[in-house]
Structure 1
């Protein structure tokens, strides 16, 4: 065991026992979180409005407090931003994570309380270290410095002394002093608002540092890593950072990027650890790197509910952890120590284990294609892209898909816009395997494709290099937690991309 890992494991031994407890007693821990949360909520205007008090039951909570999204809660959040107290959480909230999810035009402002910072976001970061060090005692991932590529927005001061910015910027501003000793780049560079300027500054500062791990969104880190190779004149990242051995990633699926990272970091020592961390909270982490699912973290000041995706418009069907089932696609509902009550975050998950509770992210409640009853979700798309890539030797950099609507007597279909890192050996075969795999993993799609009943074979458009980057740049969405929407039920994004592709 490395000396650093020994220290981490010893320091966090009590915390590791707490994690083991919620593996064994999940509902006990979740009920404790519920009781703690409602004790805070009882003094808020929001609870009084719905007649719910500190001693109400879970069942009464579900009956009285409505399931909401950001639109329904926006008025209350704006009041909190203006400095009003005791609206959603006791006291005044001074921090708001600015988030747009994928590439939506309108920003969301997620309240970040002192409790959510300490008990959720920071605890999640510490648990990543503790779990990884315990599971990988010989790794040297924490012997050097961690490179983090955060958001690209400054913290904008609002009225009443509140501040907003990317979650990463808020975490950097509030992190304990010791974090700055083990993390790169400096705070000044980390908070540079222009993504491209920040990448250049990181290259100048970090190319000669001893970086042993890095963290962030796979797509944006890939941009940084490729630029680092150019800057250093290196063929792979081990020539720049010989001891690099861990990438902590989240935000988007890692599947389309895995082979590209293996090429950039050709080392058997390299480990990849997924986390599920959003502006609204830190939810899960990969506690076993040999399986792709993640352990749901149950003592972060979050009470979970899950609504079967098929019942998305019937919130009364939401269930707690006690009643979830494996193999069901659920929309996740959270009540948090950030003052979000029965908030539908917009992500969908599937349970892969009930003892302990483990999940995998399957998509978004608003990111799908269902123009013809085919109900394609992101999980279906990721599997199909992976199969098509494997069959043709391709490496996909980015992609999106949208419907081709029926006109006159013509049948509908899907159009896929794909930018390749390595082109497929046969573009037509890529499209055929994509189509075949979608039929294998989605029976609704298969039924619509049967003998071209409703859907024709998918159309594949090969994007020019840099098309997605230019599109995100035009929308001022470079870096941070901004994501390319994989699927859309209309053609707005795709038509914009097709226009850029012709320039």
Structure 2
């Protein structure tokens, strides 16, 4: 055992104990954070516009400030981008995190001197939780790679601007700098394919022990490693590789392919970071729930999914939530976000401590016929089906086919397989049945002959990568939308589609 790993175990024990003490005080901390945020907000333009001086309770807070998304707050964000001070938070942000919006184009999320440490400490605590939970700390004695956006910041605006992962790269603790890869020079490469090729070259001979990133781009890195070396698995290339850290999407659909690429089962840690805040992380290997970060300068509210379309949706505080209910996550924070709907749906898997899992994006769903299928359901259906089959999936998305050339409308799954099913009829029937079991409205539409069972359109090898490249969203924190309620993505993917397959048994 190296000195770093020995010390990290002692450090982990102390930090994790404090973390669980905080978790036990979650409701009290949330009340304190709300009071702190309002006191700070009084000194801002937003606070004056919303009469913060009269807010004395959670009820006052909810009555004076509506729940809004980026578009609803855009006039304030635009003023921050121009360099105005004390618009959303006292003073100016230290950074603006540039992120892609579903409907808003580029979004610029403020990161303040108060909020940036919370991003760093949450990532640290996730790794320390793993060490404390498992006793495995050997990865800190070797190299660690974080596949992320470029750390180069745009200083042409009033406030330095960049991708969140690139901003965070400037704040990696000193004790990790010597272990961290890729090098700053390689990390600054903008073109993602060129960057991954350079990372492969740079890491081939290194003692890589922890690898982190969005699964689709980690998979791309693994495949290029194997192609370059001629080895069969990543474990042959990096025999001490012992921990995979990921976030942004559900890992289950990728799991089979990753087992093949790595050559063995690999412990994983799931994170839930975003430009708006680092919300949660997996703290135990025997529990896939993500521990909610409740003492980190963020005040949480939760909107039941059925309330989302109402002009004045009901919102719940942390003390009011229930298990296994889909909620839209709304935050107010020390970055100057006020009752901000981040666009994610979550479910609570535990109330003591508070743990969640991400079930989808609010704007990513398929409901052309009233079925309202969400990411949790399609990802779960595909994962269950893959476990019954020898198939392996590289990437997928789903869209409604409302006007087929013949027959009834249907759900069209665009799937890039690394290994195709042995029996298409069985695979399609299992997948459709699994989705029906998860979504009774979809089942009713199938049984009522409103929809025909799903069809699969095969996407050629690397088709999804080419699709994202054409969109200018290859790599970094960009993710493939799992679902759509229109044909925009589907129509673009036709350029890389091979054929459409339906079960002959239906």
TMscore range, shorter length: over 0.9
- The question of whether the paired residues in 2 share the 8 Å contact of 1:101 and 1:483 is answered with no
**Contact 2:458/2:498 (CA < 8 Å) preserved in 1?**
no
After superposition, where does 1:14-413 map in structure 2 within 5 Å?
Answer: 14-53=14-53, 56-100=56-100, 106-118=105-117, 120-152=118-150, 154-160=152-158, 162-267=159-264, 270-314=266-310, 315-406=312-403, 411-413=408-410
Q: Which residue of 1 aligns with 2:470?
A: 474
Counterpart CA distance in 2 for 1:416 and 1:129 is: 36
C-alpha contact (below 8 Å) 1:97/1:110 kept by paired residues: yes
Judging changes above 3 Å, is the alpha-carbon distance between structure 1 residues 260 and 409 closer, same or farther for their aligned structure 2 residues? closer
Following superposition, the deviation at residue 67 of structure 1 comes to: 0.6
Secondary structure in 1 matching 2:126: helix
Aligned in 2, Cα 1:403/1:152: closer, same or farther, shift over 3 Å? farther
Deviation at 1:17, TM superposition (A): 2.6
Superimposed CA distance per residue, residues 6-28 of structure 1 (whole angstroms, 9 cap, x where no aligned partner): 41232344432321123322201
Alpha-carbon distance in 1 for matches of 2:45, 2:415: 48
Q: Cα RMSD over matched residues? A: 2.0
2:427 aligned partner: 430
Question: Is it true that 1:441 corresponds to 2:460 in the alignment?
Answer: no
- Conserved? CA contact 1:97–1:111, under 8 Å: yes
Offset of residue 158 of structure 1: 2.9
What is the deviation of 1:475?
0.9
- Provide Cα deviations, 1:245-280, integer angstroms capped at 9, x if missing partner: 001100111011111221222345x31010101111
Q: Which whole-Å CA distance do the structure 2 matches of 1:242 and 1:248 have between them?
A: 17
Contact conserved, 1:81 with 1:93, CA < 8 A, in 2? no
Determine the C-alpha separation between the residues in 1 that align with 2:151 and 2:106: 12
From the superposition, tell whether residues 2 and 440 of structure 1 become closer, same or farther in structure 2 (CA, over 3 Å).
farther
Q: Report the Cα offset of residue 105 of structure 1.
A: 7.8
Q: Deviations over 1:356-401 (max 9, x none)?
A: 1111110010000011011100011011111222222111111111
Change beyond 3 A, Cα 1:409–1:191: closer
**Alignment partner, residue 504 of structure 2:** none
| C-alpha contact (below 8 Å) 1:172/1:187 kept by paired residues | no
SS of corresponding position for 2:53: coil
Partner Cα separation in structure 1 for residue 259 and residue 39 of structure 2: 48
d(CA) in 1 for partners of 2:109, 2:303 = 22
Closer, same or farther: CA 502–391 of 1 in aligned 2, 3 Å: closer
Give deviations 1:153-183, integer Å, cap 9, x for gaps: 84222322x1222111111123344332221
Distance 1:316 1:485 in 2: 26
Q: 1:98-132, CA deviations, whole angstroms, 9 ceiling, x for partnerless residues?
A: 11157x681111111111111x2111111112211
Secondary structure at the counterpart of residue 376 of structure 1: coil
Whether contact under 8 Å (1:8, 1:129) holds in the other structure is no
Alpha-carbon displacement from aligned partner over 1:44-96 (angstroms, at most 9, x marks no partner): 11011010138621121111111110111122111111110000011012311
The answer to whether the 8 Å contact 1:276/1:282 transfers is: yes
Deviations 1:399-442 (A, max 9, x none): 11111115799532211111101111112222111110111111
Q: Does the Cα contact within 8 Å between 2:436 and 2:442 map onto a contact in 1?
A: yes
| Contact 2:457/2:498, CA 8 A, preserved across alignment | no
If the length of structure 2 is used for normalisation, what is the TM-score? 0.94
Q: CA deviation at 1:352?
A: 0.9
CA distance in 1, matches of 2:256, 2:400: 29
Say how many residue pairs are matched.
498
* Distance across 2 between alignment mates of 1:240 and 1:95: 38
Unaligned runs of 5+ in 1: none
Structure 2 residue ranges without an equivalent (≥5): 500-506
SS of structure 2 residue aligned to 1:173: helix
